[in-house]
A = this chain, B = another copy of it.
Amino acid sequence: MYYIGIDLGGTNIAVGLVSEEGKIIAKKSVKTNSQRPFKEILKDMADCVIDLLKEQNVSLDDIVSIGIGTPGSVDSEHGILVYANNFKEKENIKMREIIQSYIDKPVYMTNDANAAALGEVVAGAAKGYKNVVVITLGTGVGGGVIINGQLYEGQYSAGAELGHIMLIHDGEQCSCGRKGCWEAYASATALIRQTKKAMEEHPDSYMNKIATLDNVSGRTAFIAAKNGDAAGQAVVDKYIQYISEGLVDIINIFRPEILIIGGGICNEGEYLLKPIREFLRKHSYGGSRHPEQKLAVAALGNDAGIIGAAFLGKKANEK
């Protein structure tokens, strides 16, 4: 038997045929075109599933369930996308019902951060662990929590919003309406803002040689720092501290068997991880009285969302 996993993104809908072992057998994708009615998006999603099955000569009878990871707030129990900022239609999309009108299979849903977290547990950097937290440093700071091998989503699937813990009281405005959330300091978006500010304050810095304010990326400050630029180094040091402070909170709350961080910034590898590990060791509750927190980088990239979504059905049957 197989599982269908769907990663609904702002740009692409990625569909995967996933084995019982969590391996992607085949993938197919179509454009999301997010600024059209959801009925059209979901019709294309269903067609993409059907096309993929045809191409792979797999019958619908061999599919256990369909799982969808989507941006936004999800009511997993009722299969509803409660709210998603980045789509034209933003509220109360009955995804399960609409997909099932095209394909008569059980449909499971969760948000994209949860799906990616579950994927890393099923087949990625957290494989074999039962209590895991996955933090994704991207446009925002996403979180996924696995407890006893199952996704923990909280009431109305509204928990695990780990980017929205407070880091700096009355600090930067966060997109969630609150001020000073971790996300407003540790996301790639925040890093770019911090880099731009430093470029304006230090016009002679190496950052201004390799980028303009229009094309700053999450790498700009890191490249400058590695080239001995003091202003770039200061941005990197502060950004790593912001990441680490939030991770200390996560450790004090969950003390997971393994903590996974993902997002493009993780390509910095040990240059990023080493100072984070030192910070966690020093500041986590109990300090060095406990063994060091296991920390690793997400291993599956975009595939995590597909595999995690696919396994929503398998996990539901294990409950």
Give the B-binding residues of A (Cβ under 8 A): 73, 82-83, 131, 147-148, 152-156, 158-162, 164-169, 171, 176-178, 245-246, 248-249, 251-257, 283, 285-287, 289-291
Contact = CB atoms under 8 A, between A and B. Distances in A.
B249 A158 contact: no
A255 B167 contact: no
Contacts of A155: 131, 255-257, 290
- Grouping DSSP codes into helix (H, G, I), strand (E, B) and loop, the A interface class, with mixed when no group exceeds half, is loop
13 contacts: A83-B289, A147-B152, A153-B255, A154-B256, A156-B255, A158-B290, A159-B255, A160-B255, A161-B252, A164-B252, A166-B249, A169-B171, A249-B249
Contacts of A256: 154-155, 159
Query: Which of A253, A257, A287 has the largest number of chain B CB atoms within 10 A?
Result: A253
B248 A166 contact: yes
A271 to B, nearest CB: 24
Identical chains in the assembly: 2
Contact of A82 (B168, B246, B289): B289
A3 B274 CA distance: 47
Contact of A253 (B82, B83, B162): B162
A168 to B, nearest CB: 4
A159 B289 contact: no
A256 B161 CA distance: 13
A182 B73 CA distance: 27
A126 B153 CA distance: 19
A167 B166 contact: yes
A159 B256 CA distance: 8
Contacts of A160: 253, 255
A283 B152 contact: no
Given A154-B256, A166-B249, 20 more contacts: A82-B286, A152-B254, A155-B255, A155-B256, A155-B257, A156-B290, A158-B255, A159-B254, A161-B253, A162-B252, A165-B165, A166-B245, A166-B246, A168-B169, A169-B245, A176-B285, A176-B286, A178-B248, A249-B249, A253-B253
Contacts of A148: 147-148
A287 B160 CA distance: 15
Given A165-B252, A253-B159, A73 B286 contact: yes
Query: Which of A131, A153, A154, A177 has the largest number of chain B CB atoms within 10 A?
Result: A154
Contacts of A257: 155
Contacts of A167: 166, 169
Query: Which of A152, A159, A166, A251 has the largest number of chain B CB atoms within 10 A?
Result: A166
Query: Which of A162, A285, A289 has the largest number of chain B CB atoms within 10 A?
Result: A285
A139 to B, nearest CB: 16
B162 A289 contact: no
